[in-house]
């Protein structure tokens, strides 16, 4: 086991080659971290829900303690969705609540669109701007800098630099996590997944047909994701938007109490499937 893993965050066999933390007991809730993050980013939520939910926290392929991928095609939406489904299968979960932050929210939505029968509800926090004006506009350049100059240079330019909106403490936290990854694996994810995300309006008909409960969460101070989160909640027929005052992009860490309250309220509202 990785020496940096906390004692209350065991590695489970359910992920196969992927690193997965499993916390607590109850119905399954799978939470997916953002680009450059790891399972550690959702531990506060796992502790808050420990007594009522079995919280599954993977390191997404190409991040932290999970293996990287050999090129962009190995990081396609289809491959990443298959990873999530495999985790649920090995957990024995026919259905689960699936959620995530930023890139993780985009992946959670892909899971719901591809396999709505496996999803009880979705939690989409800090949804990334997609299409020509969103992450696709910088994905290729970001990936090129990662491949050419490495993690530190790419992170300073695209992640925690002056334009990021992070304060000093948040930037230091984000930098610490970002530097544990493999630069080429992150570049493959940018080219294979994030750089190919379609705009919300381009997939409006599919979103309108997604009949699952959906909690959309955004930080009031998140210039990146507030507008797409509002639009996403409008397009989803059962979408519910919660905007957390003063919170930034990493909303589950910048406003953990408010985030946990919104998440708990949403989970409590779902129909009981036991029996």
Does residue 137 sit within a domain? no
**Whole-number Å distance between alpha carbons of 241 and 215:** 6
What is the per-residue pLDDT across 12-42, written as a single tens digit (0 to 9) for each? 444 558 999 999 999 999 999 999 999 999 9
Count of domains for the chain: 1
- SS3 of residue 243 by DSSP: strand
Q: Are 123 and 99 in contact (CB under 8 A)?
A: yes
Q: What are the two backbone dihedrals, phi and then psi, of residue 58, each rounded to the nearest 5 degrees?
A: -80, 150
Domain hosting 253: range is 13-131+198-269
Does residue 138 sit within a domain? no
Does residue 23 sit within a domain? yes
Instruction: Indicate if the alpha-carbon torsion angle 40, 127, 29, 86 is positive or negative.
Output: negative
Does residue 170 sit within a domain? no
- SS3 of residue 271 by DSSP: coil
Q: What is the distance in angstroms between the CA of the first residue and the CA of the last residue of the chain?
A: 36
Q: Are 249 and 129 in contact (CB under 8 A)?
A: no
Cβ burial of 246 (10 Å; 0-12, 13-18, 19+) is exposed
What is the Cα Rg of the chain in Å? 17
DSSP letter string, 82-121 = HHHHHHHHHHT-SSEEEEEETHHHHHHHHHHHH-GGGEEE
Q: What is the CATH number of the domain that holds 204?
A: 3.40.50.1820
**Whole-number Å distance between alpha carbons of 263 and 142:** 32
Query: What is the structure's pLDDT at 165?
Result: 62
Q: Are 88 and 118 in contact (CB under 8 A)?
A: yes
Query: What is the structure's pLDDT at 7?
Result: 40
Does residue 249 sit within a domain? yes
Does residue 101 sit within a domain? yes
Query: What is the structure's pLDDT at 1?
Result: 25
What are the average pLDDT values for consecutive 10-residue runs of the chain, which has 275 residues? 37 66 96 94 95 95 86 89 96 97 97 98 95 80 95 92 72 87 94 93 96 97 93 98 94 95 97 70
Does residue 100 sit within a domain? yes
**Whole-number Å distance between alpha carbons of 26 and 264:** 14
Does residue 72 sit within a domain? yes
Q: Which residues pair with 99 in a beta bridge?
A: 31, 123
Q: Are 218 and 240 in contact (CB under 8 A)?
A: no
């Amino acid at each position: 086991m990785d020496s940096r893993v906390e004692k209350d965050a065991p590695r489970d066999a359910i992920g196969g080659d992927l690193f997965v933390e499993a916390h607590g007991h109850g119905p399954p809730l799978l939470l997916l971290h953002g680009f450059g993050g790891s399972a550690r980013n959702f531990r506060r939520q796992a502790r808050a829900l420990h007594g009522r939910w079995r919280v599954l926290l993977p390191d997404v392929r190409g991040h932290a303690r999970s293996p990287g991928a050999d090129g962009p095609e190995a990081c396609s939406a289809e491959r990443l969705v298959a990873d999530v489904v495999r985790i649920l299968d090995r957990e024995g979960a026919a259905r689960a609540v699936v959620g995530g932050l930023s890139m993780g929210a985009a992946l959670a939505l892909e899971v719901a669109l591809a396999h709505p029968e496996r999803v009880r509800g979705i939690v989409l926090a800090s949804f990334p701007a997609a299409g020509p004006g969103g992450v696709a506009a910088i994905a290729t350049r970001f990936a090129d800098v990662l491949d050419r100059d490495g993690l530190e240079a790419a992170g300073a330019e695209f992640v925690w630099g002056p334009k990021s909106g992070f304060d000093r403490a948040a930037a230091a936290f984000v930098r610490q996590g970002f530097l544990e990854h493999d630069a080429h694996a992150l570049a493959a994810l940018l080219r294979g997944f994030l750089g190919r995300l379609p705009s919300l309006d381009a997939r409006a008909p599919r979103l309108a047909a997604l009949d699952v409960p959906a909690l959309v969460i955004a930080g009031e101070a998140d210039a990146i994701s507030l507008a797409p989160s509002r639009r996403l909640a409008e397009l989803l027929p059962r979408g519910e938007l919660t905007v957390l005052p003063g919170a930034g992009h990493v909303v589950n860490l910048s406003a953990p109490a408010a985030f946990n309250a919104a998440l708990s309220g949403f989970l409590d509202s779902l129909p009981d499937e036991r029996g």
